[in-house]
Structure 1
Amino acid sequence: MVAVAAAVLAGVLTGATPSGPPRVIVGGSPADTATYPWAVALSSRAEYGSARSGQFCGGTLIAPTKVLTAAHCMFDANGRRDDRPDLTVIQGRTDLRTTQGREVAVSATHVNPGFDPGVIEGDWAVLTLAEPLGTGTAPVVAQGADVYAAGTPSTVVGWGDTTGNGDYSSTLRQVIVPLVTDATCRTAYPGGLQGTYDAASMVCAGERLGGKDACSADSGGPLLVGGRVAGIVSWGDGCALARKPGVYTRVATFARDIREAAGL
């Protein structure tokens, strides 16, 4: 997740040392890839080292050779495309310090052509894998689906920062946060350095008093509503702060394009 959208990716959530204040799962609990077999880690050891398997973002397996993630994960901190030659997707590795599961190379990257790295709008991308991964894909909400009612519980999973201070988890974690109103998000992110909330392409989730949130290196991972991918971890101001909910890509707005890019 990008720390502050208006910073133009200066706070891209990476699993190494973020260049800005981070946004991993804060206030959550342990999870397992047996429960979430479609939850995958994006890895580049050349860029992020071998610790934690080189993980820097998350993603969701939506077809055997297709991974849905955040567009900003494909950019560097200066807003430039970063086509990492060793980019791989890891499935079935609950603990990133192990060799559990499988690693498959990414053969092609489709970034939403309408993505604006300046405001982190339209934040989705589909990765094509060099070979199919095992069983277990997650369904995506339908185009225009009305699943974003305030108070609806949503689940986020990832390997990100657990404190907002760069304490990256080596094991998969999960957190349940309620969706919040567009009005609340507009108040939290009115523009400028705090970022600009756009209800047409974004949705917010979090506790009013904070304490639970996605954070750095959770970027690209899923926000699940009713067992379907309804959001993608995108950006926010800090991690788990009061009155600063996490901002997610509103997948229902882009579902048709996502399915087309994934060949679904």
Structure 2
Amino acid sequence: MRTPSVRFARAAALLVGSCAAVSTLAAAPASASTPVTPLSPAAQPSIIGGSTAQNPGYITRFNGHANGYTFFCTSTLIGTRWVLTAKHCMYDNNGRRLTDIDLYIGSNSASGGVHAKASTTYVYSGGDLALIKLNADGGGTFARLAGSSSDAQEGDAARVYGWGATQSTDEGNHQSSVLKQAAVQIADTSATDYFGGPAIAADTPDGAVAGGDSGGPMIDDGVQVGVCSTSDRSSTTTYGSVAAGRSWIRQVSGI
């Protein structure tokens, strides 16, 4: 059975207390106009446990808007106008590509930092990665991206970051207002992400990844080696491999 992905969506038109978990993307990649089959409502990953983080300047809050909902994810600034996130974050509750996306860059607050809009989005056919081109400069501090699979080794200690839910029930009312982090240990560098692409699996003894952490980074020795894809909300998470998608990232963004 596929491990749940880790995005969270909230009914933007409703007051706090009226939140809805909605589905994310199913197996096949889709074009902007092609709907895809959604997951069950329970299939969502924030960091449960863990600790408050200090934003290094490039971790970015992702708010996508469609059909009266706001879809929350995490992402990273990798260039002046480029953001890396998860592919499953790019689709609304009807399985169509989001076109209205706000990014908040470099702050500990979920609504602070440099604000920019998405001007163009790109999805990776080989796994759970996506790129967003911004309509304005996002800042000058960028994530360092893995250049080869050797940047992540089984047994390595790494850290994961996100603004997602702080408990596994009623996630809509428990989204973190501040950036959180958790220590993880890389367990498998030949795992698969939500779309079957190359991924890094990690054990999460310090804090579990949950709804809203999707698209966030796994950092190993200062290098972003993964993009948050799935979580069982207790002990294991998978992150799409940055090294595996590195040539695609370079081809699209020039970075």
Is 1:91 the counterpart of 2:105 in the alignment? Answer: yes
| Partner residue in 1 for 2:221 | 226
* Distance of aligned partners of 1:196 and 1:74 in 2 relative to their CA distance in 1, 3 Å threshold: closer
* Distance of aligned partners of 1:84 and 1:47 in 2 relative to their CA distance in 1, 3 Å threshold: farther
Task: Tell me by how many angstroms 1:21 deviates.
Answer: 4.2
Among 106, 115, 125, the alignment partner of 2:118 is 106
Structure 2 Cα separation of the partners of residues 249 and 22 of structure 1: 16
Q: What does 1:1-264 correspond to in 2, within 5 Å?
A: 5=2, 13-16=7-10, 17-18=20-21, 19-33=41-55, 36-44=56-64, 56-78=72-94, 80-85=95-100, 87-96=101-110, 100-112=112-124, 114-115=125-126, 122-142=127-147, 144-165=148-169, 166=171, 167-181=174-188, 201-207=198-204, 210=205, 212-237=207-232, 239-241=233-235, 245-264=236-255
What secondary structure, in the 3-state scheme, does the structure 1 residue paired with 2:207 have?
coil
Contact 2:6–2:209 (CA under 8 A) maintained in structure 1: no
Task: Report sequence identity in percent.
Answer: 27
| Partner residue in 1 for 2:38 | none
* Distance of aligned partners of 1:213 and 1:130 in 2 relative to their CA distance in 1, 3 Å threshold: same
Task: Tell me by how many angstroms 1:197 deviates.
Answer: 9.3
What secondary structure, in the 3-state scheme, does the structure 2 residue paired with 1:202 have?
strand
Contact 1:236–1:247 (CA under 8 A) maintained in structure 2: yes
Contact 2:6–2:228 (CA under 8 A) maintained in structure 1: no
Count of paired positions = 224
* Distance of aligned partners of 1:214 and 1:196 in 2 relative to their CA distance in 1, 3 Å threshold: closer
Residue identity matched to 1:160: G
Which segments of 5 or more consecutive residues in structure 1 lack a partner in the other structure? 116-121, 187-194
Contact 1:162–1:168 (CA under 8 A) maintained in structure 2: yes
Deviations 1:61-82 (A, max 9, x none): 000100000000012345x223
* Distance of aligned partners of 1:236 and 1:40 in 2 relative to their CA distance in 1, 3 Å threshold: same
Task: Tell me by how many angstroms 1:145 deviates.
Answer: 2.8
* Distance of aligned partners of 1:152 and 1:64 in 2 relative to their CA distance in 1, 3 Å threshold: same
* Distance of aligned partners of 1:48 and 1:262 in 2 relative to their CA distance in 1, 3 Å threshold: farther
* Distance of aligned partners of 1:12 and 1:77 in 2 relative to their CA distance in 1, 3 Å threshold: farther
Higher helix share: 1
Deviations 1:139-185 (A, max 9, x none): 1010x3313322201111110011222121111101110000358x6
Contact 1:37–1:137 (CA under 8 A) maintained in structure 2: yes
Structure 2 Cα separation of the partners of residues 220 and 48 of structure 1: 22
Contact 2:194–2:229 (CA under 8 A) maintained in structure 1: no
Residue identity matched to 1:252: A
* Distance of aligned partners of 1:254 and 1:46 in 2 relative to their CA distance in 1, 3 Å threshold: closer
Q: Report the TM-score, using the length of structure 1 for normalisation.
A: 0.76
User: For the aligned residues, what is the CA RMSD?
Assistant: 2.6
Structure 2 Cα separation of the partners of residues 133 and 148 of structure 1: 27
* Distance of aligned partners of 1:5 and 1:222 in 2 relative to their CA distance in 1, 3 Å threshold: same
Task: Tell me by how many angstroms 1:22 deviates.
Answer: 3.1
Contact 1:48–1:56 (CA under 8 A) maintained in structure 2: no
What secondary structure, in the 3-state scheme, does the structure 2 residue paired with 1:215 have?
coil
User: Higher relative CO (CA 8 A, sep ≥ 6), structure 1 or 2?
Assistant: 1
Contact 1:37–1:136 (CA under 8 A) maintained in structure 2: yes
Residue identity matched to 2:106: G
* Distance of aligned partners of 1:224 and 1:48 in 2 relative to their CA distance in 1, 3 Å threshold: farther
